[in-house]
Amino acid sequence: MVSIRTAAPALLLILAGCVSGPDHKPPEMPLPAKFSEGGTKMNGDVAGSQWWTAFGDAKLNAFAAQGLAQNLNIQQTLERINQAEAAVVTAGAGGLPSLTVSGDNTTSGQKGGSTVSSSAGRRNVTTGTASASWLLDLWGQYRRATESANASLDVAYSNVDVARLTYLQDLANSYVNARYYQALISIAQENLKSRRDTLSLTKFQLEAGAASRLDVVQAEGLVNQTLALVPGYEISYRQQVHHIATLLNVSSATIIAQMQGGGKQPVFRGSVRTGLPADLIRNRPDIRVAERTLAASTAQIGVAEAKLFPSITLSGSISPTYTHTSGASGGFTTWSFGPSLNLPIFDGGALRAGVKSAQSSSRENYIAWQQTVRSAIEDVENYLSAVSRDAQTVAAQHAQVKSYQEALQLSTASYKDGASSLLDVLDAQRNVTAAQQSLAQAVQQSALDYIGLNINIGAGYVPAGKANVAEAPAKVVKVSAKKAN
């Protein structure tokens, strides 16, 4: 027959291995075998891909490297890692023994007689207390809390990667937009020269009797229209430069000086390997954030369920006291030790409601994970569709500009010979301007689509030559690669 003295420790060991709530399992969902316009080859780890170098723009390359180290949003997310690490310690602290030590000393005495003070009644009392307690984590409440906190720490690491991707897209987009507005300013200045030449020619023909005052006024109107466009372009250009300065955490004057003199619009040449939809699970940090958030909420179910069961706390204290008087000295010690049992019986349903709330939160986060994956696939397919067609648009716009420039040359020559009216020249100039602006916009859109595609496959957030900020082991989530029905 097993004695109670032998069985009790064994029972405590068994209970100590109990953990309430479900274990987190990597979520799964059916995914397409490939993107609608993509290939069938898997992507490797693209986190360190410096896709922006495909533009061949040294300034953009320097800005990208500089901002990854200096951007304030990224620095904020790095600080949140420290907070999450502290939360892990806090979460597990409740399941560990605690010890508190205190001490005090009191001196008391009396003054007697009317003329002489006496120290005969002086008394020193020194007391110390050491208190210890340990809540036995029989149902895994604090183990689940620690598990949840560790998953939240993973979220903090992945949020740094999300912030880096956001920064790269914002910076590259702003740089592309700044160069676009510089191109519009250059186009306006070039066309302004052409229209002023036309105005001079029209004035000359007016003096020769070959043109009317109406022709001169129309030519002047087109010159003034072009002049009115330039300030708006300059304002938009300055706004983009100011935003780049904010992203890099430097003064605007510094970036303005570096961007002076203009520059070609960024144009990438090559192709983007998008991989498969399943690759996004590994490469997209926002999907990892959603999965780790789900893991944290799943662990919280165990925390809530553990509160339904009885809890045992072992506590004890020891308090030595030493007393000294002029007549005698001595001390004594008091101590106590014993377990306490907390048994939840009536709570108005609050504890069970907490379990239901935790379960619902976990289900919600699973749905959010699915939505994040679906949205990621949609984003990649949208940008892939655009990137595969942008080159056609740019080529057509180049041909259009060339045609309208030739038409302008022919109409100008015909106008000088008196074979056509000024209206033909002005129309040709408008067509050239519109075509040049459309070409600049097509080049801009092509660059923005290339940036968006790389960002949405999760490429480039690891700084060159540096380890991934997520020093904790990577969480690889496997999903089904079956075609969706």
**Side chain identity at 183, as an amino acid letter?**
A
Per-10-residue mean pLDDT of the chain, 485 residues long, equals 48 60 92 91 90 93 90 92 93 88 85 53 85 89 93 95 96 97 92 81 74 80 86 95 95 92 85 90 95 96 92 90 79 86 88 94 96 96 94 95 92 82 82 93 96 95 55 39 37
pLDDT at 3: 52
pLDDT at 13: 46
Q: How far apart (Å, rounded) are the C-alpha atoms in residues 386 and 4?
A: 75
Sign of CA dihedral 282, 288, 290, 291: positive
Q: Where are the alpha helices (DSSP H) in 249-284?
A: 252-259, 279-283
The whole-angstrom distance between residue 295's C-alpha and the CA centroid of its chain comes to 19
**Side chain identity at 1, as an amino acid letter?**
M
Nearest to 46 by CA among 221, 247, 281: 281
Nearest to 71 by CA among 158, 154, 155, 168: 168
pLDDT at 57: 93
pLDDT at 1: 44
pLDDT at 476: 37
Q: How far apart (Å, rounded) are the C-alpha atoms in residues 80 and 312?
A: 35
Q: In what order do the strands lie in the sheet with 123-136?
A: 98-108, 123-136, 311-325, 329-342
Nearest to 120 by CA among 130, 129, 109: 109
Angle 216-217-223 from CA coordinates, rounded to 5° = 90
**Side chain identity at 232, as an amino acid letter?**
G
Q: What pairing do the DSSP bridges indicate for beta strands 329-342 and 311-325? A: antiparallel
**Contact at 8 Å (CB) between 321 and 396?**
no
pLDDT at 469: 38
pLDDT at 216: 80
Q: How far apart (Å, rounded) are the C-alpha atoms in residues 462 and 49?
A: 8
Q: How many CA atoms lie within 13 A of 2 on its CB side?
A: 7
pLDDT at 27: 94
Domain 19-96+139-308+349-456 sits in CATH at: 1.20.1600.10
Extract the runs of DSSP E, i.e. beta strands, from 52-136: 98-108, 123-136
**What backbone torsions phi and psi does residue 354 show, to the nearest 5 degrees?**
-65, -40
pLDDT at 112: 60
Q: Structure tokens of 462?
A: 């690891």
pLDDT at 113: 57
**Side chain identity at 138, as an amino acid letter?**
L
Q: How far apart (Å, rounded) are the C-alpha atoms in residues 261 and 75?
A: 32
